Amino acid sequence: MSKSILLAEDDRFLRRACETKLKQAGFDVRVAVDGEEALTFAREKVPDLLLLDLLMPKRDGLSVLATLRGDAATKDMRVVIMSNSSKDLERQKAAALGVVDYWIKSNLSLQELCDRVSQLLK
């Protein structure tokens, strides 16, 4: 059974690219277009990995993450932040909320992204 990934990304181009690549690699990918949706989908079915953007409409990534950590059902969810912001403060906040990693999107090729996800979910 393939591993499940929830991809929370509001930019439609980035969302499409990631979704396409990860599906090609055989993952079960579900997408959320804003923070609210991300929270709803994550609660509906806990994914093996949440790829979480930070700057999103309705609810930002850190708020989604904090909410998930406060809920017994989702508190141990594996989360990787995928952002284009390299602010130290955001990195620190994310680390404090126990994320697996923090990736800068523009610094990764889709292949690298896919390889890292595969590595994590091995």
Partner 1 sequence: MEKQASLTASLREHDAVLGGLIRNNPVAIVVLDAEQRVQLINPAFESLFGYPEAEVAGRRIAGLLVPEEAVIESNRAAASGLGGATASLTAQRRRKDGSLVDVEVTFVPFTGNDNQPAGAYVFYRDLTAQRVAERHLRAQYAVIEAMANSSTIEAAAEWVLRAIAESLEWPVGAMWLVDKTSGKMRCIDFWCHEAIDAKPFERQTRGSEFRRGVGPGRTWEINAPTWIVDVTKEPKFSRREAALAAGLHAAISFPMAIDGDVVGVVEFFTLSVLEPDQRLLQMFAALGQQLGAFVGRTRAQEQLERFFTMSGDLLCIATFDGYFTRLNASWHRVLGYTTTELMSQPFIDLVHHEDREATANVVAELRKGQPLALFENRYRCRDGTYRWLSWTSTPKLDEQLIYAVAHDTTDRKLLEQQTQETLKMRNDFVSFVTHQLRTPLSGIKWMLELAKETDEADEKASYVEDARESADRLISLVNDLLDASRLESGKLQVSLEPVRLRQLTYDVVADIATLVEEKHHTLDIECEADIPISMLDPQLLRQVILNLLSNAIKYTPEAGTIQVRIGREGSVLHWSIRDSGIGISEESQKRLFEKFFRADNAHTIDTEGTGLGLYLVRLIVERLGGTITCESEVGRGTLFHFTLPITAGDQV
Nearer to partner 1, 6 or 53 (CB): 53
Q: How far is the CB of 41 from partner 1 (least distance, A)?
A: 19
Contacts 24+ apart (CB under 8 A), 29-36: 29/4, 29/5, 30/4, 30/5, 30/6, 31/6, 31/7, 32/6, 32/7, 32/8, 33/9, 33/57, 34/8, 34/10, 34/58, 34/59, 35/8, 35/59, 35/60, 35/61, 35/63, 35/64
Q: How far is the CB of 97 from partner 1 (least distance, A)?
A: 19
Nearer to partner 1, 76 or 112 (CB): 112
Nearer to partner 1, 14 or 46 (CB): 14
Nearer to partner 1, 15 or 69 (CB): 15
d(CA 53, CA 114): 16
Q: How far is the CB of 8 from partner 1 (least distance, A)?
A: 12
Which spans of this chain sit near partner 1 (rule: CB under 8 A)? 10-11, 13-14, 16-18, 20-21, 55-58, 60, 83-87, 104-106, 109-111
Q: Residue 37 has which token pair?
A: 């949706």
Q: How far is the CB of 66 from partner 1 (least distance, A)?
A: 16
